[in-house]
A and B are shown apart, each in its own frame.
Chain A
């Protein structure tokens, strides 16, 4: 497994890529693609895999009548088949300056998770888009598909640099306006936006398809270990706050962080967003291979 702090190493190694081939992203609702693909869809139609029966009505294609049942029951049923459709996965990566802060590095961790999910999606035949944002949405890569595109995705992620301040609402609003229908959109972010996160999450859920949130925080953000009197300066807007680290203030911070996460969870529940809280303390492969699978997001 890759170590979280290996900044010079490739985002994904071959061993991990080999294991990605056996995984696929699971969506709670089958999404409709443009082409007949390999993914199951709840949209019944022309396909080879039987899904269900229904009563025959005038106008149905007689080729789909189940003559075996007619022979046994003398009733006309139409065989329904699950349509094999091609699926879109949109990786929505927060590339604001805050992602480059914290120990271990959030930015590398986020890109590793994005690369892994993208590789899994590509390996399972999905169409993948990569969109990054900071102050605004920046599409960096058009839609790709096929296993051969994995390396391209990884290379693009490796070359990505962080931008400036975070503006979640306009960025996600711009994404929602151009998101492919019925796509799985995976937001990977620390959600550090002074303007708030409720409206952005609402926008994300309003986009067509299924929404995931990988809420990423560094270990130093979860468990600050500083001592003494510090001036904490915001990397994005350069504002600062003077903090004397005492057990009391650290306790207060933990309490506020817990409240914040609870708020995120509640909002995600309200907006039907599947969320995962990820710490950079946990290696990305464990995040992908264990945490997401345990949540039923990968299979």
Chain B
């Protein structure tokens, strides 16, 4: 027998109190007698002979003591007994990833089998508490913690598999968090406190986790797992082949030719034959390729597509025999020409900067004076504004800014001390803007600079001891990159890294991609920078049947998660409040492309976690704990009633 709340055993100190009260509370009837001489001698004689005899033979006191003892023990929540009538928490994690759509030999999908298995688990945990959590690319609790197991059954009936990958780690972390919140912290005693005064006794968690999955789970990356995990492996099928990778890149040609690469993998043990089809905007662009794949084999195939422009590319793998998982037999991507970047060039004459801007492809530069800048329309007319040694007090919002040799007053209103030939101490080589730039040219060579002090909204890209030489600033709608010196006062513009820096900065500030949308996975985040002025945005699924309104975030950011349907989703948005204004759209391919999900063979355990095989579960758990406190309390109450009867009958 164990104790759910052993700290309550302190109440055993009530027993001496009861003894004291008993001696104090005895209600004595007075009786007149001829003499107390003989009684005094009898009492003295009895005390000498047996001090405890009186106590033991006093039924009322004994009953009181036993009742108090039982009540205190009930408070301490003793636990023992059978599996029923316990309050253990059972967290049932159901895998609804793409692999659960695999079809078994009997024609049923794994998610159907999983629903049946969860029903059986719910039968097993009768009298306990439970919670159902589904997991794929997202983790979603289907119920709260409840002892109403019918709620669990209803939640399970509505479960279906999606097209995402299994994020078991997130599900386990959620389950662990819930179990810890449900745990009982044991009473702390002096021996369990370390010298630093920290509690060393771990919380007592009375919970277990059921994982109902086909076992295609990634390795557990957390700490040692404190809760027993019972893995219910679903399914037997292993024969599957599918597309696990799809990529495209533009060739270095003026026409912008495309090269598409596809990888097919046979995750089963038997050889599989199939046809690979490539379609461009719905039309086949080449002969279908027949391929035989050995068990566990992989095959990479590339296709060359001529001409630029915007295209939908579809790849379909058609096995000769029906494989278990159809979801990984198709993949999509979008190839489009990157749009031009509209740049406003403001400031003094700088031929080195102008030369760098002129050689950049897809960049349209318009030189304007500071007086010609209209802050209200700048965001609509330009993607990036380049300020060279001239800058207004307030930078226009909604547009990117590349500031050279000037100080944005919104971020650095105070004068900055001049530094000569500063030594470069660090630069962020992983920053997309600096990834292809070498900054050795500005190390100790800048004649005169005013390094930016760091403050909220500012991050350094390249630093000297006195401050940032290159800095990103972002506050509200105003964002940009600032160079703390006149590039003409350094040898930097004379090196190749300068035009790379300018191009990367312009693309970064203009938020223009390379034009290849290789797709995202189901459940991943869709993020589109639609620009200022977006009034409405809608996401349409691949079938075109379902449209979802997407909230517009500041600066026209559209953010949502990809749904469960694989294929090409369409994000459409409109600027301005005119209902007749033109829709702008972006195609978003959603693919499975997961070797883990395509490998559908059930696995017996989760990597990194000690699980309990189904056949050993009973032996592992033994008799589950049941709460004994109601029995203790009932007995205590019965004894109190008995004591009352005995007391008054006397």
Provide the bound-state CA to CA distance between A244 and B42, in Å: 12
Contact mask for chain B residues 45-60; partner A; CB cutoff 8 A; 1 contact, 0 none: 1100110011001100
- Asked if B27 and A241 make an inter-chain contact with CB atoms under 8 angstroms apart, the answer reads no
Shortest beta-carbon distance from A226 to chain B in Å? 7
Shortest beta-carbon distance from B256 to chain A in Å? 108
Contacts of A190 in B (CB 8 A): 34-35
- Asked if B650 and A248 make an inter-chain contact with CB atoms under 8 angstroms apart, the answer reads no
> Which of chain B's residues has its CB closest to A100's CB?
B34
Partner of B650, one of A101, A228, A235, A257: A228
- Asked if A253 and B57 make an inter-chain contact with CB atoms under 8 angstroms apart, the answer reads no
Contacts of A59 in B (CB 8 A): none
Whether A248 touches B39, Cβ cut-off 8 Å, given contacts A229-B29, A231-B30, is no
- Asked if B46 and A240 make an inter-chain contact with CB atoms under 8 angstroms apart, the answer reads no
> Which of chain A's residues has its CB closest to B38's CB?
A256
Provide the bound-state CA to CA distance between A248 and B41, in Å: 14
Contacts of A178 in B (CB 8 A): none
- Asked if B30 and A230 make an inter-chain contact with CB atoms under 8 angstroms apart, the answer reads yes
Cβ of A71 < 8 Å from any Cβ of B?
no
Contacts of A102 in B (CB 8 A): 33-34
Residue from B29, B39, B45, B57 with most neighbouring chain A CB atoms (10 Å): B39
- Asked if B34 and A235 make an inter-chain contact with CB atoms under 8 angstroms apart, the answer reads yes
- Asked if A235 and B46 make an inter-chain contact with CB atoms under 8 angstroms apart, the answer reads no
- Asked if B32 and A246 make an inter-chain contact with CB atoms under 8 angstroms apart, the answer reads no
Cβ of B43 < 8 Å from any Cβ of A?
yes
Provide the bound-state CA to CA distance between A252 and B44, in Å: 9
- Asked if B34 and A192 make an inter-chain contact with CB atoms under 8 angstroms apart, the answer reads yes
Provide the bound-state CA to CA distance between A231 and B27, in Å: 9
Provide the bound-state CA to CA distance between A106 and B35, in Å: 13
Shortest beta-carbon distance from B46 to chain A in Å? 4
Contact mask for chain A residues 188-232; partner B; CB cutoff 8 A; 1 contact, 0 none: 001010100000000000000000000000100100001111111
- Asked if A260 and B38 make an inter-chain contact with CB atoms under 8 angstroms apart, the answer reads yes
Contacts of A226 in B (CB 8 A): 31
Provide the bound-state CA to CA distance between A230 and B49, in Å: 21
Shortest beta-carbon distance from A40 to chain B in Å? 40
- Asked if A106 and B34 make an inter-chain contact with CB atoms under 8 angstroms apart, the answer reads yes
- Asked if B29 and A228 make an inter-chain contact with CB atoms under 8 angstroms apart, the answer reads yes
Cβ of A243 < 8 Å from any Cβ of B?
yes
- Asked if B54 and A244 make an inter-chain contact with CB atoms under 8 angstroms apart, the answer reads yes
Cβ of B36 < 8 Å from any Cβ of A?
yes
Cβ of A239 < 8 Å from any Cβ of B?
yes
> Which of chain B's residues has its CB closest to A234's CB?
B36
Contacts of B50 in A (CB 8 A): 248
| Interface SS of A by simple majority | mixed
Provide the bound-state CA to CA distance between A98 and B38, in Å: 13
Cβ of A233 < 8 Å from any Cβ of B?
yes
- Asked if A98 and B34 make an inter-chain contact with CB atoms under 8 angstroms apart, the answer reads yes
> Which of chain B's residues has its CB closest to A221's CB?
B34
Provide the bound-state CA to CA distance between A231 and B150, in Å: 64
Contact mask for chain B residues 1-43; partner A; CB cutoff 8 A; 1 contact, 0 none: 0000000000000000000000000111111111111111111
Provide the bound-state CA to CA distance between A233 and B30, in Å: 7
Partner of B26, one of A227, A229, A240: A229
Provide the bound-state CA to CA distance between A38 and B37, in Å: 45
Shortest beta-carbon distance from B382 to chain A in Å? 101
Whether A241 touches B43, Cβ cut-off 8 Å, given contacts A194-B37, A248-B53, A257-B38, is yes
Provide the bound-state CA to CA distance between A195 and B96, in Å: 98
Provide the bound-state CA to CA distance between A255 and B43, in Å: 11
Contacts of B29 in A (CB 8 A): 228-231
Shortest beta-carbon distance from B231 to chain A in Å? 65
Provide the bound-state CA to CA distance between A227 and B647, in Å: 11
Shortest beta-carbon distance from A156 to chain B in Å? 24
Residue from B27, B33, B36, B49 with most neighbouring chain A CB atoms (10 Å): B33
- Asked if A235 and B43 make an inter-chain contact with CB atoms under 8 angstroms apart, the answer reads no
- Asked if B38 and A253 make an inter-chain contact with CB atoms under 8 angstroms apart, the answer reads yes
- Asked if A243 and B39 make an inter-chain contact with CB atoms under 8 angstroms apart, the answer reads yes
How many residues of chain A are within 8 Å of chain B by beta carbon?
37
Cβ of A236 < 8 Å from any Cβ of B?
yes
- Asked if B42 and A233 make an inter-chain contact with CB atoms under 8 angstroms apart, the answer reads no
Cβ of A151 < 8 Å from any Cβ of B?
no
Contacts of A106 in B (CB 8 A): 34
Contacts of A74 in B (CB 8 A): none
- Asked if B45 and A255 make an inter-chain contact with CB atoms under 8 angstroms apart, the answer reads yes
Shortest beta-carbon distance from A254 to chain B in Å? 8
- Asked if B34 and A241 make an inter-chain contact with CB atoms under 8 angstroms apart, the answer reads no
Cβ of A142 < 8 Å from any Cβ of B?
no
Provide the bound-state CA to CA distance between A229 and B32, in Å: 14
Contacts of B650 in A (CB 8 A): 227-229
- Asked if B34 and A243 make an inter-chain contact with CB atoms under 8 angstroms apart, the answer reads no
Contacts of A247 in B (CB 8 A): 57
- Asked if B46 and A252 make an inter-chain contact with CB atoms under 8 angstroms apart, the answer reads yes
Contacts of A232 in B (CB 8 A): 30-33, 36, 39
Residue from B28, B32, B34, B40 with most neighbouring chain A CB atoms (10 Å): B34
Provide the bound-state CA to CA distance between A108 and B43, in Å: 30
Provide the bound-state CA to CA distance between A194 and B38, in Å: 10
Whether A252 touches B30, Cβ cut-off 8 Å, given contacts A194-B35, A236-B35, A257-B38, is no
- Asked if B31 and A233 make an inter-chain contact with CB atoms under 8 angstroms apart, the answer reads yes
- Asked if A253 and B39 make an inter-chain contact with CB atoms under 8 angstroms apart, the answer reads yes
Cβ of A140 < 8 Å from any Cβ of B?
no
Contact mask for chain A residues 96-112; partner B; CB cutoff 8 A; 1 contact, 0 none: 00110110001000000
Cβ of A177 < 8 Å from any Cβ of B?
no
Scan residues 536-583 of chain B and give those whose CB is less than 8 A from a CB of chain A: none
Residue from A218, A233, A243 with most neighbouring chain B CB atoms (10 Å): A243
Shortest beta-carbon distance from A91 to chain B in Å? 21
> Which of chain B's residues has its CB closest to A99's CB?
B34
Provide the bound-state CA to CA distance between A232 and B38, in Å: 11
Cβ of A242 < 8 Å from any Cβ of B?
yes
Scan residues 336-353 of chain B and give those whose CB is less than 8 A from a CB of chain A: none
Partner of A241, one of B36, B53, B58: B36
Provide the bound-state CA to CA distance between A248 and B45, in Å: 11
Shortest beta-carbon distance from A148 to chain B in Å? 36
Contacts of B34 in A (CB 8 A): 98-99, 101-102, 106, 190, 192, 218, 221, 234-236
Provide the bound-state CA to CA distance between A230 and B30, in Å: 6
Cβ of A69 < 8 Å from any Cβ of B?
no
Cβ of A46 < 8 Å from any Cβ of B?
no
Shortest beta-carbon distance from A243 to chain B in Å? 6
Partner of A98, one of B28, B35, B42, B46: B35
Shortest beta-carbon distance from B127 to chain A in Å? 47
Whether A101 touches B42, Cβ cut-off 8 Å, given contacts A228-B650, A248-B53, is no
Provide the bound-state CA to CA distance between A233 and B33, in Å: 6
Contacts of A246 in B (CB 8 A): 54, 57-58
Shortest beta-carbon distance from A298 to chain B in Å? 27
Contacts of A51 in B (CB 8 A): none
Shortest beta-carbon distance from B598 to chain A in Å? 85
- Asked if A240 and B30 make an inter-chain contact with CB atoms under 8 angstroms apart, the answer reads yes
Additional A-B contact list (16), CB under 8 Å, known A101-B34, A230-B29: A98-B35, A227-B650, A231-B30, A232-B31, A232-B36, A233-B30, A235-B32, A235-B34, A235-B35, A239-B36, A241-B36, A248-B50, A252-B45, A253-B38, A253-B42, A256-B45
Question: Can you offer 10 A-B residue contacts whose CB atoms are under 8 A?
Answer: A192-B34, A227-B650, A230-B28, A231-B31, A232-B32, A232-B36, A236-B34, A246-B54, A249-B54, A252-B43
4 closest pairs, A vs B, by CB? A98-B34, A192-B35, A101-B34, A228-B650
Residues of chain B whose beta carbon lies under 8 Å from any beta carbon of chain A: 26-43, 45-46, 49-50, 53-54, 57-58, 650
